Structure 1
Amino acid sequence: MTIAKPDFIEGIAKGMAVLESFDTERQRLNATQAAERAGLTRAAARRHLLTLAHLGYLDTDGSSFWMSPKVLRFSGSYLASSRLPRALQPTLNRLAALTQQSFSAVVLDGEEAVIIARSMSFDAPTRVLAYGLHLGARLPAHATSTGRMLLAAMPSAELAQWLKGRTLARLTPHTVTQTSVLRQRLAQVRKDDHCIANEEHELGVQALAVPLRDMRGRTVAALNVVLSGAHRSDDALRRDVLPLLYDAAREVRALL
């Protein structure tokens, strides 16, 4: 969304930039680190950190700052009020009960794929992934099945802008880090209408994703299953799992 310059409140933007400086790589920041991440002077970053701590969104020991549970108010409000997670959750639960596997619904936010609905079978072996698969988890779009599915659905001009000058982080030896190669992979995903990611996000983990489209044909999210343990061939995934995902996508289409 674009707004007129007089309507833009720079103080709020700077405060949000400081808040967004915290992530899975940096759970604790001092004023210098926050300034570097938010693109502010140290003095400005310090004032924002102190204000956020005063409001209860950060905790501090006097030098370092970290997020407090109060920030969950934002995600809790979104999950409680947004129609998309609530519409998808029953389908995710059914898939998990049927297959004893883990399923997620994901949307794209900038360079990251964000989990907005999640189901995990209680009978499946639990496994802690390095980047986490909890609600609200933000995963690198270029290395995940859902992220690629959503990137492939972008208009060509928008995708070109997304790729322009972007550095693709290497997460495993299998991660695609060249934009030219990623562009080719996305073209294939667009043609296949599904995406398989083999150990690009984390070793030992495979994922298969399909688009979730509304009645007008717009891709509004992606649905995937994440599999760990014994490696499965791409053909086996397409034969045994892909039909379930396609059926689920058709099932929820009228709800999106």
Structure 2
Amino acid sequence: MTIAKADFIEGIAKGMAVLESFDTERQRLNATLAAERAGITRAAARRHLLTLAHLGYLETDGSYFWMAPKVLRFSGSYLASSRLPRIMQPTLNRLSAQTGESFSAVVLDGEEVVIVARSGNYGAPTRLLAYGLHLGARLPAHATSTGRVLLASLSSAELSRWLKGRTLPRLTHYTITQAKTLRTEVANVRAQDWCVATEEHEVGVQAMAVPLRNIQGRTVAALNVVLSGAVRPTAVLEREMLPLLVDAAHEVRTLL
């Protein structure tokens, strides 16, 4: 969304940038680190950190800051008010109970995808990925099945803007890190309407995803299954998992 310059509150933008500086790689930040990550001065970062701590969104030992439970109010409000998680939860639970695997609904947010709904625990517990499989977990779009499905929903111009100047980090030996190669892979996903990513985000982990479209045909999210352990041939996943995902996507289409 674009707004007029007069309507833009720079202080809020800087405060949110500081809050977003905390992630799985850096759970604790001081003013210097927060300034580097948020792209602001150390003095400004310090004021924002202190303000956020005063409001209860951060905790501190006087030097370092870390997130407080109060930040979960944002995610809790989203999960309670958003239609997508509520619509998808019964379907995800049913798929998991049927197969013993882990299923998620995921949306695109910048260079990452975000898990907004996840199946309950059925069968053997699924090994967590390095970045987690919990609600709100953020995963790199270029190295995930859901990310490529969601990138495939973009127009050529939109995909070009998404790729422009973007670094594609290598997470495993199998991760695609070249923009040209990723563009080709996204085109293949767009043509077949599903995606398998094998050990690109973490060794020993596969995922298959399909788009979740609303009744107007617009892709609003992606549905995936995550499999750990022995790597399965794509043909096996196409035979065993793809029909379940496709049927589930069709079931919820009129509700999205």
Alignment TM-score, normalising by the size of structure 1:
0.99
Distance 1:128 1:236 in 2: 23
Letter in 2 for 1:201: H
Structure 1: which 5+ runs fail to align?
none
Cα offsets for 1:50-75 (capped at 9, x unmatched): 00000000000000000000000000
Identity value in percent: 78
Structure 2: which 5+ runs fail to align?
none
Distance 2:153 2:27 in 1: 32
Distance 1:250 1:122 in 2: 23
- Matched residue, 2:18: 18
- Matched residue, 1:143: 143
- Matched residue, 2:187: 187
- Matched residue, 1:75: 75
Matched, 1:207 2:207: yes
In structure 1, the residue corresponding to 2:13 is in which secondary structure?
helix
- Matched residue, 1:64: 64
In structure 2, the residue corresponding to 1:196 is in which secondary structure?
strand
In structure 2, the residue corresponding to 1:89 is in which secondary structure?
helix
Aligned residues: 256
- Matched residue, 2:5: 5
- Matched residue, 2:116: 116
- Matched residue, 2:46: 46
Letter in 2 for 1:112: E
- CA shift for structure 1 position 129: 1.7
Cα offsets for 1:96-142 (capped at 9, x unmatched): 01001000000000000000000143312331321101000000000
- Matched residue, 1:248: 248
Distance 1:228 1:68 in 2: 32
Q: Output the aligned Cα RMSD.
A: 0.7
Cα offsets for 1:167-215 (capped at 9, x unmatched): 0010000000000000000000001100000000000000000000000
Q: Is the 8 A contact 2:101 2:225 kept in 1?
A: yes
Distance 2:169 2:107 in 1: 20
- Which portions of structure 1, spanning 4 or more consecutive aligned residues, are displaced by more than 6 angstroms? none
- Matched residue, 2:196: 196
Cα offsets for 1:132-161 (capped at 9, x unmatched): 010000000000000110001101111100
Q: Is the 8 A contact 1:101 1:120 kept in 2?
A: no
- Matched residue, 2:35: 35
- Matched residue, 2:168: 168
Distance 2:15 2:128 in 1: 32
Matched, 1:218 2:218: yes
Distance 1:71 1:125 in 2: 27
In structure 2, the residue corresponding to 1:165 is in which secondary structure?
coil
Q: Is the 8 A contact 1:60 1:66 kept in 2?
A: yes
Mapping of residues 116-135 of structure 1, within 5 Å: 116-135=116-135
- Matched residue, 2:93: 93
Alignment TM-score, normalising by the size of structure 2:
0.99
Distance 1:210 1:126 in 2: 20
Q: Is the 8 A contact 2:101 2:122 kept in 1?
A: no
In structure 2, the residue corresponding to 1:117 is in which secondary structure?
strand
Letter in 1 for 2:225: V
Q: Is the 8 A contact 2:102 2:126 kept in 1?
A: no
Distance 1:112 1:245 in 2: 22
